[in-house]
């Protein structure tokens, strides 16, 4: 016996999922400051003299933090360990992930 249902269709009696529920990247794009590029989403945060770029990669379900130097320094952004990122920023990223329908625990994954 074969199953003729399309995996992308809603089952009768279930509410239809909108794009943000079915596509986590669309959910992130709806969050303030997030931009989607292919299978990843990125947001930039500044606080005091610190600047960070945070990326979420959908295929591997992980986040990566980059420390961005001041524009006048002319240096390249470098990946940084989560333990060096201010707590309030990590909390904000986890809140954005949760609001997009992504398990915020992915932010704890080691690369």
**Mean pLDDT across 74-84:** 89
The pLDDT tens digits for 83-105 are 999 999 999 999 999 999 999 99
Q: What is the Cα 46 distance to its own chain's centre?
A: 17
pLDDT at 21: 53
Does residue 3 register a pLDDT over 50?
no
- For the chain, domain boundaries: 34-108
Residue 62 has pLDDT above 70, yes or no: yes
Distance CA(37)–CA(25), nearest Å, equals 9
Q: How wide is the angle at C-alpha 94 spanned by C-alphas 100 and 33, nearest 5°?
A: 65
Nearest to 83 by CA among 57, 107, 51, 53: 107
* pLDDT tens-digit readout, 13-51: 333 344 445 688 999 999 999 999 999 999 999 877 789
């Amino acid at each position: 016996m074969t199953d003729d249902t399309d995996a992308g269709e809603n089952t009768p009696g279930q509410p239809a999922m909108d794009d943000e529920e079915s596509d986590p990247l669309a959910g992130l794009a709806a969050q303030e400051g997030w931009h989607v590029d292919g299978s990843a989403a990125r947001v930039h945060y500044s606080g005091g003299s610190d600047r960070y770029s945070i990326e979420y990669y959908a295929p591997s379900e992980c986040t990566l933090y980059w420390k961005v130097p001041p524009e006048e320094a002319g240096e390249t952004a470098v990946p940084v360990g989560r333990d060096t990122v201010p707590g309030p920023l990590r909390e904000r990223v986890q809140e954005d992930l949760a609001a997009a329908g992504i398990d915020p625990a992915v932010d704890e994954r080691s690369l």
